[in-house]
Amino acid sequence: MDVKIKTALVSVSDKSGVVDFAKKLSKMKVKIISTGGTAKKLNEAGVSVAGIESVTGFPEMMDGRVKTLHPKIHGALLGLRDKNEHTAAMKEHNIEPIDLVCVNLYPFEQTIAKADCMLAEAIENIDIGGPSMIRSAAKNNKFVTVVTKPDQYDKVIEEMQKNGGAVSQELRSDFARVAFALTASYDAAIAKYLNGKSSVEYPEKVSIALKKEASLRYGENPHQSAAFYKLPPSGETSVSSGTLLEGGIGISFNNLLDTNAAFELVKEFEEPTAVVVKHLNPCGCAVDEDICMAYRKAYEGDVVSAFGSIVALNRKVDVELARTIMESYSLFGKALGAGGFFAEVIIAPKFEADAVEIIRTLKSWGGRVRLVETGPIERAKIDCGEFDVRCIIGGLLLQKRDLVGWEPDALTYPTKARPSAKQLEDLRIAWLAAKHTKSNTIVLVKNKKVLGVGAGQMNRVESGLIAFKHAGDEANGCAMASDAFFPFPDNVENAAKAGVAAIVQPGGSKKDDEVIATADKHGIAMVFTGKRHFKH
């Protein structure tokens, strides 16, 4: 059923486009009711409006807190026009129907995002009247059109112009769906903020407000549909806050997962660092004073797995670095037995324009690679309040993010041998790489370069054997990290055979004494962190 728009209530915080919208409504003989700042703006633009007080018989009061919370407003929105009792009540109380509500809400999320926002200011920016009108109009979408976003204005006007001033049920229903999602998201943001101000770590109820960012080509597999949704921005530099530069092809579900894994690892380091990730695990990671050399070392860590990988960098991509990445195979990989090289995604704080041109044109695959620019990495802005969420069928698991990194003051040294400063640096890199690798994991590092990774195996011995096999003779003198303690000395025995010089692990096994004794027998320096990094 089409409903002709005769009366509209317009009251918006985001006033972009509202003057043009109101002028078009007015031109179609729609009576416009408005409030406060919106009424003033429309009047100044020459749009005739009726003030809200002329409808309710009450002035706006209490600093604008009370203006639309009135039976003559909500009765006008909620009244069922095909029900005699409702129409009789509206007539008895002189309530005129409102056919369209154009409302968006106080900028609560923008307010709390300000560094100097105090609780009182946040509370003052909790909209009450707006959500009430939106919900009333959306509930009664059989008769009322609810408009909550500027990008909906043209759709309304187009329908009205085609249908003699009327709007279709299809549009009203669709806008009502959007409206309820908006109020749910708004309330979720308020609840999250107030939960953060309390001492309750895991609230009784958790609402997660997400906004659709993009439809994806498919999910993990082609038979699965997928979409990408964003949380409200927190200020943290991340894949979600990054910008996908023009060119390339659309980013996929697996691309996003892998890119997040790569970028979260590269964020751990302040020094120039490059990370290469394949299937959520780092196959390369290296630190160097020169970012080009860091990339080369990371790529050389596993040239076979680097094919079709994600490349993450914590420095800008200039012409030299772009050329180094694009020519990886011919410069380094071919001699090391790689079958070829291309990257699915390159993510970095910045891309110089000339560097983008080189990436796009130097190799045939450059036109397909996705480039994600994140802006500067500021570890101080990490959102410590954001949950790590995992899904099981029928529920969610929530935990605090694992933000523990390398903690020099927490380290203990149980073995007779102590690691040198150089070995400690390699242990640090191995430990951080292990943190971002699927359990069970063993990571080998030498000269600030990952040599071998054993990831996601059902037992830690097998992970070690994979890492040692990959590193080969280079393992001699390397540092080794294990994401969890050694339940038996077998891993240390295998490490000794491979030539490992130093090991970092959490400690805490019932057989720590045997593990330490085995390390001492082989002259291996061992470091305990006191923390483990399971990653399921």
Q: Which residue ranges form the domains of the chain, and what is each CATH number?
A: 3-197 (3.40.50.1380), 212-380 (3.40.140.20), 408-528 (3.40.140.20)
Q: Largest Cα–Cα distance of the chain, in whole Å?
A: 96
Residue range 308-323: mean pLDDT, rounded? 98
Is the predicted pLDDT of residue 36 greater than 90, yes or no? no
All residues at 6 or more sequence positions from 469 whose CB lies less than 8 Å from its CB, including other chains = 452
Is 436 a residue of the active site?
A: no
Report which of 121, 106, 130 is spatially closest to residue 10, judged by C-alpha positions. Answer: 130
Helix axes 71-78, 84-92, angle to 10 degrees: 150
Catalytic residue among 15, 24, 70, 279: 279
Report which of 352, 268, 279 is spatially closest to residue 310, judged by C-alpha positions. Answer: 279
pLDDT attached to residue 8: 94
Is the predicted pLDDT of residue 130 greater than 70, yes or no? yes
Decide if 514 contacts 487 (C-beta within 8 A).
Answer: no
Residue range 495-503: mean pLDDT, rounded? 98
Structure tokens at 288: 């160097």
pLDDT attached to residue 224: 96
Catalytic residue among 6, 23, 24, 139: 139
Whole-angstrom distance, CA of residue 114 vs CA of residue 101: 30
- Per residue in 220-246, pLDDT (tens digit) is 999 999 999 999 888 899 999 999 999
Residue 81: how many other CB atoms lie within 10 Å: 14
Structure tokens at 65: 């807190």
Q: Tell me the pairing of strands 273-278 and 309-313.
A: antiparallel
**63: which strand partners?**
none
Hey, is 14 helix, strand or coil? Answer: coil
Is the predicted pLDDT of residue 484 greater than 80, yes or no? yes
Residue 65: how many other CB atoms lie within 10 Å: 11
333, burial (CB in 10 Å: exposed 0-12, middle 13-18, buried 19+): buried
Decide if 348 contacts 312 (C-beta within 8 A).
Answer: yes
- Per residue in 286-300, pLDDT (tens digit) is 999 999 999 999 999
pLDDT attached to residue 64: 67
Is the predicted pLDDT of residue 110 greater than 90, yes or no? no
Whole-angstrom distance, CA of residue 486 vs CA of residue 505: 8
* Mean pLDDT of all residues belonging to the chain: 94
Give the least confident one: 91-105, 286-300, 312-326, 428-442: 91-105
- Per residue in 429-483, pLDDT (tens digit) is 999 999 999 999 999 999 999 999 999 999 999 999 999 999 999 999 999 999 9
pLDDT attached to residue 208: 87
Structure tokens at 380: 């101080």
The pTM of the whole model exceeds 0.75: yes
pLDDT band at 90 (very low <50, low <70, confident <90, very high): confident
Is 91 a residue of the active site?
A: no
